[in-house]
């Protein structure tokens, strides 16, 4: 199968599709608060879509710059996902007592948010040259990104009360 100039072209195209999907999700944030961070996340998602990763072979200095922009914007996007989960989704109206389900959802949000942060940290660790040499064939960035995206998906579905919906009284 020919993916174009190098084997990462398919992955680069998928990254663009996923970023566009994240942007469309973020434009319909569950909850009443339209925090400025949601708009930043949309900008980061657009940036990730517009600036592809660095090609595996034959990368020019321009390709490397664009790849660095991609990685930076992706890191910022994942950090906003963690922010949503840890700080925003856990909020309760000051005049309301949280329900038992809300307390359970808060645990889910925190686990998801800290999972995203752990994935970001591990992505930095596996980029360190001696570590990268050891684990590169296992494609750790792909797996860590996947875990982070699934964690945010669980947090998102929980916020929308698809998971742990408040019980009707």
Tens-digit pLDDT string for the chain (169 aa): 333 444 455 555 555 555 555 555 555 555 544 577 888 888 899 998 889 888 888 989 999 999 999 999 999 999 999 999 999 999 988 898 999 999 999 999 999 999 999 999 999 999 999 999 999 999 999 999 999 999 999 999 999 888 888 877 6
**Which pLDDT score, from 0 to 100, does residue 18 have?**
58
Give the count of domains, the chain: 1
Asked if residue 88 belongs to a domain, the reply is yes
The pLDDT assigned to 80 comes to 95
pTM of the model: 0.79
Interacting residues of 15 by C-beta distance below 8 A, sequence separation 6+: 48, 49, 52, 53, 70
Q: The domain containing residue 44 runs over which residues?
A: 9-159
Q: What is the distance between the alpha carbons of residues 146 and 142, in angstroms, rounded to a whole number?
A: 6
Residue 166 confidence (pLDDT):
83
Of the candidates 16, 3, 5, which has an alpha carbon nearest to the alpha carbon of residue 53? 16
pLDDT given for residue 168 in this prediction: 74
| Domain assignment of residue 19, yes or no | yes
């Amino acid at each position: 199968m020919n993916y174009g100039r190098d084997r990462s072209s398919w992955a680069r195209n998928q990254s663009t599709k996923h970023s566009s999907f994240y942007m469309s999700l973020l434009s319909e944030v569950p909850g009443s608060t339209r925090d400025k961070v949601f708009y930043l996340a949309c900008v980061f998602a657009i940036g990730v879509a517009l600036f592809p990763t660095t090609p595996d072979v034959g990368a020019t200095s321009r390709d490397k710059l664009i790849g660095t922009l991609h990685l930076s914007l992706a890191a910022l996007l994942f950090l906003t996902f963690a922010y949503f989960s840890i700080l925003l989704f856990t909020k309760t109206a000051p005049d309301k007592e949280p329900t038992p389900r809300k307390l359970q959802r808060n645990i889910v949000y925190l686990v998801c948010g800290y999972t995203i942060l752990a994935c970001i940290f591990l992505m930095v660790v596996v980029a360190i040259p001696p570590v990268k040499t050891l684990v590169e064939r296992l494609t750790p960035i792909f797996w860590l990104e996947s875990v982070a995206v699934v964690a945010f998906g669980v947090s998102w579905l929980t916020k929308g009360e698809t998971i742990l919906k408040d019980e009707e009284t």
